[in-house]
Structure 1
Amino acid sequence: HLVPADGIRVVQQYMARMPSGSYLVLCDTVKTPQTLAAQEAYDSGENPPYLVREPEEITDCAAGLEIIEPGFLSIALWRPEEDDPVLVDQWGLVARKP
């Protein structure tokens, strides 16, 4: 959330050096009207910039990797303890390097 766009390239370079069978686990805030409003409110103070991203920007980190089920979605849906979890605008994935 605080890593500039260049962070995506850094993650890709890091994963390129990892051996086959390695995993990448990440989550980030997806861009929605609500998260953009929250970003503006947060950034209006004396805080470091808070970044919200398009889903494609987040999945770009996993380019060339196999995204594990249940895929890239709200982290509330990853192994939920409830039958009807409350969805959040934090989306995540687990990906394996072939």
Structure 2
Amino acid sequence: MSKCTSVIRELVMPVGLALLLGLMFRPIYFKGGNMDYFLMWILIGFPFGIRRMWLWLIPRNYGIAGTVGIFALNVIVGGIIGGFALMFQIFKGFLTLIKCFSK
């Protein structure tokens, strides 16, 4: 039964969080009847990828524009990594779901 309870942690919670983020950020990435898929990928993937970033660019000896630019680059890279991390988490959750019901 422990594998079946891990389905909730590995599949249901990440998918639920991604859907909640998708609904929350919908006015940002859906403008004028067109969807910006890259912006959606970054906004939904950011919470999943920011903790998986191995290297943070730290702004030193920059003005305000350089600091904001480097911070934006960190957010974009974290969002891209997070999109892939979310897809991997969903794939791993489906494998756990298949293992749970195959017994």
More strand per residue = 1
Using the size of structure 2 for normalisation, the TM-score is: 0.26
Using the size of structure 1 for normalisation, the TM-score is: 0.27
More helix per residue = 2
